[in-house]
Structure 1
Amino acid sequence: MLLFLKFLLAHILGDFVLQPESWVKDKEKNKIKSQKLYLHIGIQTFLLLFFVQFNVQKYWLGILVIVVSHFIFDALKLQFQQKKTKRAWFVTDQILHVLLLFFATTIYNNFNFSFKEIFTEKTLLFIIAILMVTSVSAVIIKIIITQWNPESKKENDDSLAKAGRYIGILERLFVFVFVVTNHWEAIGFLLAAKSVFRFGDLTSSKDRKLTEYILIGTLLSFGFAILIGVLYRYLATLI
């Protein structure tokens, strides 16, 4: 595990901390011809060597696997990503990097990996709870409040696409964590913070229906998150 953490730290430093935004733009513009791409790979190589104390004789194969795969993944991402698929390529790229770090670690350390250890009752219960808080609750709330939708989408609407959905998911995740960790006071703070940010929308709007619509959605969102959090805590104690 220690070796994997060293590899992961080197990756985080090289890919995020020590890679300026200007390098990223240069790579996106010039792709595989970008000098910043090779400088980035060079920094990754140095960091890997640094964290294994430059023990090339022992770790050369693992470092070679990481460096070559890192270059291939970055080159493919730069070559094929589009503006619309940039997010998907970033997530895929990072997942592949981490998987290769894990693979390189297995060259030196044997991991006793078993699905039975992952898919325990507590793990499955936690996954179900997260899905209930995010996706399931979003669908149920949408079905409930659709009948009261007070406004249609305007051409000059400057709100972010699907922002409401993501805000709802994030707030329910926060509430769920607060309930599970028994920090109920934080829920009140979150509700107050959301009310402050929503105050401008509610006061500038002369439509009372919009205020009621937002209030119903908020209470349903918080209510579902609290209910799922309480049920999760209760069921977790029974396992």
Structure 2
Amino acid sequence: MPETLATLFLAHVLADYVVQPAWMVEDKAKPETLFLHFLAIVFTAMLCTGQLASPAVYALALVHIVIDAVKVRCFSDRFIPHITDQALHLVTLAATALLCPDLFATGLYGDVTWLPKLMLLGAGAIYATCAGSIAINKLLATFDPQPTSKGYPQSGPLIGNLERALTYLCIMAQMPEGIGFLLAAKVVMRFQTGTTDEKRYEYVFIGTLASFGWAIAVTLAVIFMASLLPPVGISLPNH
């Protein structure tokens, strides 16, 4: 079961955050867009599990599309609906792995026992960075509009992805003290801007804490899952 869940998690991450372009996210209310997303889910699930004709793959993709359709038609594109949507997708991944625990083992590369852990580590890195960027942006959108900035365009999302990626690597490398260094460096840089806007400070701190919190939570979940899988020669923290 852990092997199947790890591979399905990578399939989900690829379908939602790698192969899905921005225009597809914006037009997901259209049936044809949902169908294209369905095909992407089927393709990534087949690719990751090695199953080319398993009914479980199509069932998983269909449930995923139903969840997406309900979200875009009945709820706003805000933080809570987004997190609920992701939580439901993760539950369906776990349910599929529970009902079809040998999905990976009976696939094309079932004999490659170390592959699921490698997939899990890659999926975790993408989920900590790309998924975190979307979630944090939706969280911050619930507050005042983002303060104007004189910085480089798109520097905010890039900095956020870098800090989450470094947080992920620091914990994986058993160097949690690096997170303190990153947090301190970011705080110092923010205070050097010379602004006295309290809302600006609060906005920045909420985003910073949420960003680090997301990355830490994802990394700990990945470490737990990785402890259930065969090793790939990478030392992970013991719990």
TM-score (norm 1): 0.47
Q: Which has the higher contact order (CA 8 A, sep 6+)?
A: 2
TM-score (norm 2): 0.47
